[in-house]
């Protein structure tokens, strides 16, 4: 049996990647712990009267309902509970704050259920909330796919290609450490007006990255996580918390977790600017070429000599994918990382990408196998369109590294704040 730690916390089966304690600490509650429980432990654990209030996650959002003495009307209507509060008589009252969080997430992305033909992927506890919100908020139709237990499974996806206008992923597919997977190919849905994914790690799942590339409005799960925690804390302590806290906490969490990625021609100054940026921000600088050398035990020229460019690019892709799973670091990439399109998704899934620009006549060739005897103008002609496709912002390297680093930091801070302005002065959803 999992032992008592603090009166407040989160219960679930696997909680290794949870950031809920960090959020609740920012909301003013440092006495919040993670409780991993097996199904047979649930009832006895909740009988511990030292526990005052809890959040509930996979797979117990439905299982806790029979253990509640009372349900909030919304939780009863939805059939899913993610917040438990001990009442004066010792019983648990169950609430659903996921609905509030999900509505905040949709609102921030400018997506509405009103009049939409909705396809929900997954049928667990959070899906029950999404389905209820979709109906309450006026969807035109609602279909749910899962492996079993629903009228349709994922083999039936083609039935919904032409009708669906809004897709919501309520499954763990696409979450770290198994990022890069998606249950759907959005190009098959010609009438999509929005895509939402309750996953928050990575910041952009494979499904959301595809939506971004297709120009479809999309919403990620971090907003939902922070907003539902804010309302849960209100239930925990019976005190209102301003919505501005969602912006304050969410922007900081995104800023701390998202990577800063530097791309650009060989010799453009990525390493020098990356080092200056690391000094400025206190972030760890991860040089992907250096990681390749460390992991293979060979220098870059030696890898090229032994395996050719194709062999090097394969190693580079694997290391890029692994390094991109880090959080809150500065990733300095090799000049040719953009030559393989599959490198884009891992870099962008949890990062903002900056292209470091420098005239070809000023590019350093030292220690760069492809640059030594190459026509850099021809190389740039091929690669510049690829850098532009990858990059979120271009930075000119025509000043000191410290000045370039300062510009990146200003842009990155403004970018993370901008995604949370909806809640800075908003009323309750």
Which residues, including other chains, have CB under 8 Å from residue 361's CB and lie 6 or more apart? none
In angstroms, how far is CA 397 from the centroid of its own chain? Answer: 30
DSSP category for residue 47? T
DSSP string, 95-122: E--HHHHHHHHHHHTT---TT-EEEEE-
Helices (H), strands (E): how many in the chain? Answer: 14, 16
Q: Give the C-alpha separation, 207 to 197, whole Å.
A: 8
Catalytic residue among 5, 14, 52, 61: 61
Helices (H), 373-400: 376-390
Residues 179 and 213: their CA atoms lie apart, in Å, by 17
Structure tokens at 319: 């290391």
**Contact yes or no for 118/142 (Cβ under 8 A):** yes
Long-range CB contact pairs, 29-32, < 8 A, 24+: 29/233, 29/236, 29/237, 31/6, 31/7, 32/6, 32/8
Question: Do residues 389 and 339 make contact, with C-beta atoms less than 8 angstroms apart?
Answer: no
230 in active site: no
Distance CA 147, CA 81 (A): 23
Angle between helices 221-237 and 244-257 (to 10 degrees): 130
CA angle 32, 34, 40 (to 5 degrees): 130
- Measure the CA–CA gap between 417 and 9, rounded to whole angstroms: 28
Residues 382 and 265: their CA atoms lie apart, in Å, by 11
Consecutive H or E run containing 73: helix 73-78
CA distance 261 to 404: 14
Q: Could you list the active site residues?
A: 61
């Amino acid at each position: 049996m999992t032992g008592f730690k603090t009166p407040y916390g989160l219960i679930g089966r696997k909680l290794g990647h949870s950031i809920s304690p960090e959020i609740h600490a920012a909301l003013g509650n440092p006495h919040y712990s993670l409780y991993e429980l097996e199904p047979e432990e649930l009832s006895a654990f909740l009988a511990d009267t030292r526990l005052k209030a809890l959040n509930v996650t996979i797979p117990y959002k439905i299982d806790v309902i029979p253990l509640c003495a009372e349900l909030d009307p919304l939780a009863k209507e939805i059939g899913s509970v993610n917040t438990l509060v001990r009442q004066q008589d010792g019983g648990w009252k169950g609430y659903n704050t996921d609905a509030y969080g999900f509505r905040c997430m949709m609102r921030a992305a400018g997506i509405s259920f009103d009049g939409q033909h909705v396809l929900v992927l997954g049928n667990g506890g959070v899906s029950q909330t999404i389905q209820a919100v979709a109906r309450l908020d006026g969807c035109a139709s609602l279909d749910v796919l899962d492996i079993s237990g629903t009228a349709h499974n994922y083999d039936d996806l083609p039935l919904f290609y032409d009708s669906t206008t809004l897709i919501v992923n309520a499954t763990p597919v696409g979450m770290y450490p198994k990022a890069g997977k998606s249950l759907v190919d959005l190009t098959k849905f010609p009438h999509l007006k929005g895509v939402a994914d309750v996953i928050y790690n990575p910041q952009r799942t494979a499904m959301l990255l595809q939506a971004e590339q297709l120009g479809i409005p999309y919403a990620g799960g971090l907003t939902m996580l922070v907003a539902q925690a804010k309302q849960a804390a209100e239930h925990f302590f019976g005190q209102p918390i301003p919505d501005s806290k969602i912006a304050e906490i969410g922007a900081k969490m995104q800023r701390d977790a998202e990577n800063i990625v530097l791309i650009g021609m060989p010799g453009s100054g990525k390493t020098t600017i990356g080092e200056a940026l690391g000094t400025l921000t206190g972030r760890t600088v991860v040089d992907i070429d250096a990681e390749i050398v460390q992991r293979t035990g060979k220098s870059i020229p030696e890898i090229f000599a032994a395996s050719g460019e194709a062999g090097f690019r394969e190693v580079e892709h694997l290391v890029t994918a692994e390094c991109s799973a880090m959080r809150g670091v500065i990733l300095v990439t090799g000049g040719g990382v953009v030559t393989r399109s599959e490198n884009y998704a891992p870099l962008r899934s949890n990062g903002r990408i900056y292209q470091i620009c420098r005239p070809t006549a000023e590019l350093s060739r030292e220690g760069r196998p492809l640059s030594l005897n190459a026509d850099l103008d021809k190389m740039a002609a091929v690669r510049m369109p690829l850098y532009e496709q990858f990059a979120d912002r271009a930075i000119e390297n025509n000043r000191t590294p410290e000045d370039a680093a300062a510009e990146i930091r200003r842009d990155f801070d403004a970018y993370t704040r901008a995604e949370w302005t909806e809640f800075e002065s908003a009323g309750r959803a």
